[in-house]
Structures are given as structure tokens and as C-alpha cells.
Amino acid sequence: MSDDLVTQLLPTLTRSLDVGFNVFDVMRHGTHEKQISNVFRWLLDANGTHGLGEAFADIFIAEVNRNLAGVEPLEAGGYWVRQEVNIAEESGGVDIADLVLESKSATLVIENYGASDGHGHGYEDYLQYSRRDGQRGAVVMLCHQLDRSRLTKGWENAAIVTYRSVLDSLREAIAEDREYQGKFPEAYSLIDQMHRKFVKGRGPVEDRQVLDFVVAMCETGEAARYSKNNIDQVTEQFASDLHEQARERFGEGRTLLQRVKDRLKAFSSAALKPQLDAAGPSNLVGRVAANYSGKWRWEVILPLETTDGTEDDIQLIFGPSAWHAQLESAPAPLAHPDYSRIFIWRHSTKQFRQSAVTLQEVLDGLNHEDTRLRDEILELLDHGR
């Protein structure tokens, strides 16, 4: 495994490790078209326990109309839904449509599939069934991912409805409806989880992030893993290898942070404190101190001798503690913090700034004549008066 794999992959692993509860994941539901068709049938049923009435059916019909160019729009309202309908029964054949949505004047025959692919179903049979008895009819391809190159053998003429297009609209309609959420909390929760599972988690941004991951695998010489067939075994081995390297790198990072702290504290005692005392009031800084636990572990504290006896100090913060300061404590967060540098914080005024001194310079050893931290601290003190 490449020595720098963890470093290069880390920016691509941006999805939170806390994925949260989702009933579709727990039940492994939605991995087959029949399962997700069950949920769409529930939503399309005006009398369903979701409590939406015809709201979702109206959203669905509106999306179908949007994709039926040059055709008179289908009327909204008055639809009932059936599932697993043999649309070739009259001819003695078998061709099962996932869903059929009907009203007194129109019929929609719906093929639900992960990708926009007829996968062997007869488009003309679907169309003929939708127009039986002289009704207005339409064939609908309901899919998770749209790939127009797979729309062949008449399916290119179907109205394409993606999960995203209808679930986004439904989620938006109920997101601020506190009355609905209070009256139908279980249904709302299921719809929200459905949206997170099939829409929010697989948008264009997520695809770009996954692509960045694949590129990083290629650049670090790990692409050969993708050529192997025993996917589960290869995945587990990669996770194990990455775990070991990440564990080692994390430990090295903590050791490095401690070295920065030790050297920064030594420089502060031997050089920075005398520089500040010489440039300002005598004994401006008390004994140089440091925290040894918690989120403020990575800092060096310069207690200030105040004339009125109030407590005040300057803190030289870096790494994870600087991240905490930026996130939680700074009243005006920095626009583009560079965590490769030392940050300066004044306790009494809550002033927070990024210094010119880098962590690498601290590791290499700051010259006793280096006055950059002194100058920035004095400027901070002057601005705080």
C-alpha cells in the first residue's frame, strides 16, 4: 500500500461516519424494484396511511406531464393504483408492469427500475394497455438513475420520472408542515428516510466525491484492487490495510503535535516572554503554562500581569485546538484558516488571529531573534485597549 494513501484519500472520505438510522438500510429495503414499488404504491394511494391524500399522486402526474412534450396534459385527481399488473393477459402472454395508475379518463402504466432501462419489457404492449377502451394513456419509466443511452426499443418515448424529481417535491411540501408532521409522525419519518436514502445520498456532489476517491486510488498505485473479482474479500482487505495505515498515521500525528507543543513552549519561555517583557511593561507575561488534557491540549498559555488584577492571557493555539477555537470560540471566524500555522487568542477580548509562523518552522526550531509572534501579540494587545 502506498505510504501516502491515507493523506490523499482523506479529503475524498467526506461523508460522515455517523450515517444515522435509516429503516431502508436496516431492512435492506429498496435493493429490488418490487420493494421500492411497494412504497411508491403506498404513496400513490389516495387512501394510504401516509395521510397525504392525493398530494403525492398530483406531484407524480405533474412530473409525468412535464415529460410528455407536445401532448395534452393529463388531468390531476381521481386516480387509483394497482401493482404487479399483467398487461399482456388479454393476448395470452405475460408482461408484468410494476404499477398501473388509473382514473376514469386516463391510465398510466409504470415500469419501476433502478436505471432507466426497459430491461426486456415491451414498450408497445405497455402503451397499448394504457390506451385500451379508448382512454388516454401514457407509459412511465420510474427510475433511480437516468441514463438515456439505455432508453431503446420505444422506451425513449416514455415519460421519465426519477425518484429525485418526485421525492424532492414531496419532501419540500411537508418539510415545513408542522401540522402534518404532528398528525402523521411515522409517515413523515418514513418519507424523510426515503428521501435521504434515494435522493440526498446520491446527488451530483456525491458522485464527484466518489470520482475523486477513484482518482486518488489511481494516483497512489492502488487501482489494481478494482481489477479483482472477489469484491467482498478485496473490499475487506482494503479496509483492513487502510485501517492499519490510518491508525499508524493518527498516532504519528499526535506525536508530532506534542513535539510542536514542547518546542513552542520552550521558545515561549526562553525567547518570547523576554521579548514581550522588554518591549512592554516589565513582567508583562507571567509563567508560561500549558494544558495537558481536553480539546485545549494543543496550546501554550502566556498569562498576562494586569494592573487591575483581572485574569487575562494570550494563548498560542495550533492544530486541533485551533480548529476548536475557530469553530466554537471565535466571535468572528476566519474566512480561510490555515491550520499549518500558529493562531493567537486573547482571552479577555476573544480576539482570534492567524500568525505568520508555521508549525514546520516551530518543528525546525525558531530562532531566538525571531520576533514575529512578539509583534503580533503586541499588536493584539494594542488593539484590545
- Bridge partners (DSSP) of residue 352 are 345
Angle among Cα 308, 313, 316 to the nearest 5 degrees reads: 165
pLDDT in tens, 47-92: 999 999 999 999 999 999 999 877 889 999 999 999 999 998 777 7
Looking at the chain, the whole-number percentage of residues with pLDDT higher than 70 is: 89
Region 336-344: mean pLDDT is: 94
What pTM, to 2 d.p., does this model score?
0.56
Residue 13 has a pLDDT of 65
User: Average model confidence (pLDDT) for the chain?
Assistant: 87
Region 261-283: mean pLDDT is: 88
Do 244 and 250 meet the contact criterion of CB atoms below 8 Å apart?
no
Mapping DSSP onto H, E and C, the string for the chain reads CCCCHHHHHHHHCCCCCCCCCCHHHHCCCCCCHHHHHHHHHHHHCCCCCCCCCCHHHHHHHHHHHHCCCCCCCCCCCCCEEEEEEECCHHHCCCCEEEEEEECCCEEEEEEEEEECCCCCCCHHHHHHHHCHHHCEEEEEEEEEECCHHHCCCCHHHCEEEEHHHHHHHHHHHHHCCHHHHHHCHHHHHHHHHHHHHHCHHHCHHHHHHHHHHHHHHHHCCCHHHHHCCCHHHHHHHHHHHHHHHHHHHHHHHHHHHHHHHHHHHHHHHHHHHHHHHHHCCCCCECCCEECCCCCCCCEEEEEECCCCCCCCEEEEECHHHHHHHHHHHCCCCCCCCCCCEEEEEECCCCEEEEEEEEHHHHHHCCCCCCCHHHHHHHHHHHHCC
Confidence of residue 37 (pLDDT cuts 50, 70, 90): very high
Highest averaged pLDDT of the listed ranges 114-123, 192-201, 284-293: 114-123
CA distance 142 to 273: 70
| CB count in 10 Å sphere of residue 136 | 15
Residue 204 has a pLDDT of 46
Q: Of 382, 368, 361, 364, which Cα lies nearest the Cα of 353?
A: 382
pLDDT in tens, 191-234: 999 998 888 754 444 667 777 888 888 888 888 888 888 888 98
- Domain parsing of the chain, residue ranges: 10-206, 254-383
Report the first-to-last Cα separation within the chain, whole angstroms.
55
Residue 383 has a pLDDT of 58
Q: How far is CA 266 from CA 142, 241, 270, 290, 332, in A?
A: 66, 38, 6, 11, 30
Torsion of the alpha carbons at 67, 70, 74 and 80, rounded to the nearest 10: -50
Region 288-312: mean pLDDT is: 85
